[in-house]
Every structure is written in structure tokens, then in C-alpha cells.
Amino acid sequence: MDSLTHKLINSLNIGIIGAAGYTGGELIRILVNHPNANIAFAHSKSQAGKPVYATHTDLLGDTELVFSGDDIQPLLDLQGLNAIFLCSGHGESKKFLDEYQLPETVKVIDLSTDFRNESNGFVYGLPELQREAIKGATKIANPGCFATSIELAVLPLANAGLIQDDIHVSAVTGSTGAGQALSATTHFTWRNNNMSIYKAFTHQHLTEIKMTFGKLQAGFDKPVNFVPYRGDYTRGIIANVYTRYEGTLEEAKALYKAYYASHPFTHVSDSPIDLKQIVNTNKCFVHLEVHDGQLLVTSIIDNLTKGASGQAVQNMNLLFGLPEDAGLRLKAPAF
């Protein structure tokens, strides 16, 4: 097979499958400015042959990349390819890996739900949970957006074995969390000045959330009562998580700050938090309160960055021994 003709010195050569959607576009935005990444190809069946900036119009002037539409196998066999990101819909990643052969040297980061149960040799890619396992992996299952926000709200508690009772969650996500394809509940006319509950107590991310808590607190079997909301905005998740807790607020803050001290993107805020602090960043902010024996944790992330593509790049950095924050020092709008 041909080698990569535009390989950069000291760079990783990256392929993206499903590059025309929201997560694919967000990956391209991050990787075109990553100091150690070169996008070898961005594949899209629907946009094949078109410039990337024709679909992701904000990238005009940033890249001349054209969506590939050729047979995928020759792209996967390109000499020097280091990793691929799978950004297609849920169920498609498994089909893709069943259909195509990947060289053993190519690492996989999957943004779908297909392998979050860590089947087929995949490692669950939440760095704040298992950074060392990610470093030694070849296949990463990127966490879901709601799951990321909720897990980061509870990890320190589970790590200390302090989950004693049911966990209650209400969380709101922006419209980009539903993907790019339009539906009755995603178009502007319906979503604007509106709010609704969906998949109450049955959301698909509950499976990985319970798995994650069980990794830290042996025998975890408490219900996670999760009520998701569709929000009247584009990006971001705010999750309010509460459960029974017998300590003080100062003890909870010390527990959380100690757990996240070595993690560059998750921070405990002593002041109340809001979404504009984290939109367009790979950060998670958490804020703690104690009320009448209940610990309330508010957790905020951008569903497309820390909840998807940013965390995927964070995992890529760990896989290849790069600084964990390479290419991810992104600025929030703040106001």
C-alpha cells in the first residue's frame, strides 16, 4: 500500500471514520491544531469528495482536507497509520470491525456505545478512572457524555467506598447530544423555549455508569435513579447528583480534591458553577454541597468535548505517551 504522502515529522497519522457528524467535526477541529497529529483521512459516505469545510463550515481556512469516499480498506492499510477514531452511529463500530481488517499497529478509539462493556479487548476510556490501563491498551471505548458527567461526580465517593444508598441524578443536555440527524425533538422549532424528560430510569448510559462504580466500590449494587432532560441550548451537560452522606462538606471537598489532584481536566470549584465555564473545553467542573445528610454534587461538561471528541483525543494522548493535555488547552467562552 502507498505510504502517507503528507506525513508530518514527529506526528501521529490519524484516520476518522464517520467524519461528517458532530463528533467527527469536533475531532477535526481539535486535531488540526494538535501539535502531534496529522489527519491522514476523514471518511464520510454521505459527503465523499467534498471539502471538509463545506460541511464543517467554521473550518474554512484551517484545512484543505477532502472527505474520502474510496474503499476504506486501502485507507486502513496506509503505511504509517497510527490510529483511527470511529465516529459513526451506535452499532456501526461493531459492523465496521467485523467487515474490515486493521493492521495490528493501528490503535482504535471508538466513540459509540458498542464496546463500553469492555468486550473484544476494549478498555473503557475514562482517564480519571483507569489512566494506566488506557496507556497500555490498543482499543479504547470512549465513555458516553452523560456517563462521563455523572461518573466524574461520584468517582471519589465510590473510590472511598462511601456509596451507602441510592444515587439520584437529574441532568440536562444540549441538542448536539442527540447527533446531527434531525428528529421531532431536535429541530429548532420544537427545542427552542422548550424542555422535556426522556428515557427516565432507562437511559443507555446507566449500564456503563453502574459498571464504573462497581470497579471502584466492590459489591456496588445501589440503584442509580437517572432522569435526563433535553435542554434549550446547543452544548453542555449539567448533572445534579445526590446521595446519602455522613461526613462534612469540608471532608467531602478534601476527598474530591485529593482524588482529582493528578488529573488535568477535572476540578473542584468552591463556588457555584455554570455551563459557560466549560463549553468548548475538555474540562469537568464539580461543585459540592451537603444538606441534611445528603451530598449534592453538580457536575458540568461539554458533551462534544469532554463528553466525546475531546476525551477521545485525551485517550489518544495517553495511548501514545504524549502529554495528556496536548491539543486540549481550549478556552471557554465564559460570557
Asked if 237 and 176 touch (Cβ cutoff 8 Å), the reply is no
The helix (run of H) or strand (run of E) holding residue 193 is none
What integer pLDDT is reported at residue 176 of this predicted model?
76
What is the average pLDDT score of the chain?
A: 93
Range in 88-92, 111-115, 133-137, 271-275 the model is least confident about: 88-92
- Kindly report, residue by residue over 40-65, the tens digit of the pLDDT: 999 999 999 999 999 999 999 999 99
State residue 335's pLDDT score.
85
Would the pLDDT of 2 be above 90? no
Task: Reply yes or no on whether the pLDDT at 5 is more than 50.
Answer: no
**Contacts for 202-205: CB closer than 8 Å, 24+ residues apart:** 203/146, 203/228, 204/113, 204/144, 205/144, 205/145, 205/146, 205/147, 205/150
pLDDT over 90 percentage in the chain:
87
Quick one: pLDDT at residue 192? 83
E-strand spans in 35-160? 37-43, 83-86, 107-110, 123-124, 139-141
- Cell 443536555 belongs to 173
* pLDDT above 70: percentage of residues in the chain: 94
Q: Are strands 294-301 and 237-244 parallel, antiparallel or unpaired?
A: antiparallel
- pLDDT single digits (tens) 119-161: 999 999 999 999 999 999 999 999 999 999 999 999 999 999 9
Residue 6 has pLDDT above 90, yes or no: no
Whether the per-residue pLDDT at 4 is higher than 80: the answer is no
Identify whether 284 is a catalytic site residue. no
Give mean pLDDT, residues 223-243. Answer: 96
- Single pTM value for the model: 0.94
Q: Which residue has the higher pLDDT, 270 or 234?
A: 270
Q: How far apart are CA 297 and CA 124, in angstroms?
A: 23
For 270-323, write each residue's pLDDT tens digit: 999 999 999 999 999 999 999 999 999 999 999 999 999 999 999 999 999 999
Q: How many residues make up the chain in this entry?
A: 335
Q: Which three cell numbers stand for residue 211?
A: 459498571
Q: Is the pLDDT of residue 167 over 90?
A: yes
Q: Where would I find the beta strands (DSSP E) of 83-166?
A: 83-86, 107-110, 123-124, 139-141
Q: Count CB neighbours of 314 within 10 A.
A: 30
CB 284 within 8 A of CB 266: yes
Q: What is the pLDDT of residue 182?
A: 57
180 — pLDDT class (breaks 50, 70, 90):
low
Out of 4, 14, 83, 145, the active site residue is 145
* SS3 label, residue 90: coil
Taking the C-alpha atoms of residue 82 and residue 79, their distance in angstroms, rounded to an integer, is: 9
Residues facing 43 on adjacent strands:
17, 68
- What integer pLDDT is reported at residue 7 of this predicted model? 46
pLDDT at site 1: 41
